[in-house]
């Protein structure tokens, strides 16, 4: 039995089953063409593993850039602001797990939230679906004081600035999104109960 050559490069031995091409391809071509020139099915194990690896790498990059960014912030209530920033990030991640978006979408949604949290009613339409969903979630929250709303507004504005800063540091329209999803992985699926309750 002879080893099959990778149909993409024609040089290396194909060892990975590619469901999109129905052929064995080499790991190098799998990594290079995965999701770009090869339309991988969502259940491909190499696609999932590659996505997890990319998210982990982007998460490390995001964490390092975040530490640098926060160290450069000056705000009279810096500790509270950082708490709000992290809260907005968690809220974003929860939405991004079910509603894919680009860094540009995230930045536009955050800028929109900062504008609508202004004490002046602007009546602006949301720029995208993510902004609409985040607005709904924030609208459902109760605000104890005007100061809390102002801190949230400042957090949205500051995070939008950070997303723009981080996105420009590397390739890809989802650099921040991938990093954020690497930092906040989806919750594990709920296990069904073995006992059925009436």
- pLDDT exceeding 90 applies to what percent of the chain? 62
Distances (CA, A) of 40 to 18, 81, 185: 8, 41, 22
Note the pLDDT tens digit of each residue in 85-95.
999 999 999 99
Angle at the Cα of 21 from the Cα atoms of 14 and 185, rounded to 5 degrees: 90
Query: Which regions of the chain does DSSP assign to beta strands (E)?
Result: 16-18, 23-25
Model-level pTM?
0.77
Query: Residue 142: what pLDDT?
Result: 58
Note the pLDDT tens digit of each residue in 40-53.
998 999 988 888 88
């Amino acid at each position: 039995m002879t080893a099959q050559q990778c149909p993409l490069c024609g040089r290396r031995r194909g060892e990975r089953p590619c469901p999109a091409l129905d052929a064995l391809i080499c790991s190098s071509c799998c990594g290079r063409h995965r999701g770009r020139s090869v339309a991988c099915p969502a259940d491909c194990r190499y696609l999932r593993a590659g996505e997890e690896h990319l998210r982990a790498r982007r998460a490390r990059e995001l964490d390092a850039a975040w530490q640098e960014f926060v160290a450069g912030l000056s705000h009279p209530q810096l500790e509270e602001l950082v708490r709000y920033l992290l809260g907005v990030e968690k809220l974003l991640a929860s939405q991004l797990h079910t509603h894919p978006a680009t860094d540009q979408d995230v930045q536009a949604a955050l800028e929109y939230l900062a504008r609508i949290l202004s004490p002046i009613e602007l009546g602006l339409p949301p720029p995208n679906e993510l902004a609409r969903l985040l607005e709904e979630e924030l609208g459902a929250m109760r605000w104890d004081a005007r100061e809390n709303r102002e801190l949230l507004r400042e957090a949205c504005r500051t995070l939008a600035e950070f997303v723009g800063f981080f996105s420009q540091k590397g390739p890809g329209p989802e650099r921040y999104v991938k990093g954020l999803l690497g930092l906040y992985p989806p919750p594990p699926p709920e296990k069904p109960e073995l006992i059925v309750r009436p």
